[in-house]
Amino acid sequence: MPMARPKDGMRRYFSAALELFAILALVAVSRTVLAQPFYVTSGSMEPTLQIGDQLLATKFAYGYSRYSLPLALGPASDQRLFGRLPARGDVVLFNLPRDPREIYVKRVVGLPGDRVQLRDGIVWINGRKASVRPDGTAPLQAEDGSEMPAPRFIETLPGGREHTIFKTQRGGRLDDTDAFVVPPAHLFVLGDNRDDSLDSRVPAWEGGVGFVPVENLIGRADIVLGSWNTATTQRPFWSWLSGFRVSRFFSTII
């Protein structure tokens, strides 16, 4: 039997290494240019998003900035490569302005130059009132896994975009605000769980989100890839499969 020559072994080694490098490069490029998965860990966007949802963020929707790259490598800039502004009502992922290591997901309500205010819990944009109508109740999940029925509403922003929100109380601290004028190259964002969301209503210097620079956008949340109720980990492990929310798999985010 002929013995393998050293050159043949080295050739196979380099070929395998090249294939592995190509796979890793393709994954890195796909996550940078096309889309990237993210995991929802809070209930601030309920009922639209639930704790345990895995999202797919479309990264080319708004173009690219340094936050499209691993470790946010690159120079700071108000301009995005192939940049486009979100539409009012888009659900977006972004690096938190006061701590870019954290990633938040919220809904865009105000665009650059908009005047946004909340009065008695209702959103007003440029003097136009968003319409809100009741839509029954739905389970509201706390981070400890407990659930309670909560009033659900359908909110229609000026321009016609509709989405569901939770509003569990009236007269909350953030139900009435001053008028916010959104600066150039910034966005005003809200959580759909209006009474339990840290968003643009709270300035960064108070520990909130404040206005979000367009540069900080990662992408648009378009699809729920999968969903698992994390509260099932408190039950016997043989029941954990019941935590998969199959009805949410591959569902479109509105």
Question: What amino acid positions are annotated as catalytic residues?
Answer: 44, 106
- DSSP per residue, the chain: -PPPPHHHHHHHHHHHHHHHHHHHHHHHHIIIIIEEEEE--SSTTTTTS-TTEEEEEETTTT-B-GGGSGGG-S---S--BT--PPPTT-EEEEE-TT-TTSEEEEEEEE-TT-EEEEETTEEEETTEEPEEEEEEEEEEE-TTS-EEEEEEEEEE-TTS-EEEEE---SS-TTSS-PPEEPPTTEEEEE-SBTTS--STTS-GGGTS--SEEGGGEEEEEEEEEEEB-GGGGGS-GGGGGGGB-GGGTTEEP-
Are the C-beta atoms of residues 145 and 230 closer than 8 Å to each other? yes
Phi, psi of 74 (to 5 degrees): 125, 165
| Nearest C-alpha neighbor of 150 from the set 134, 168, 163, 165 | 168
Q: Which amino acid is at 141?
A: Q
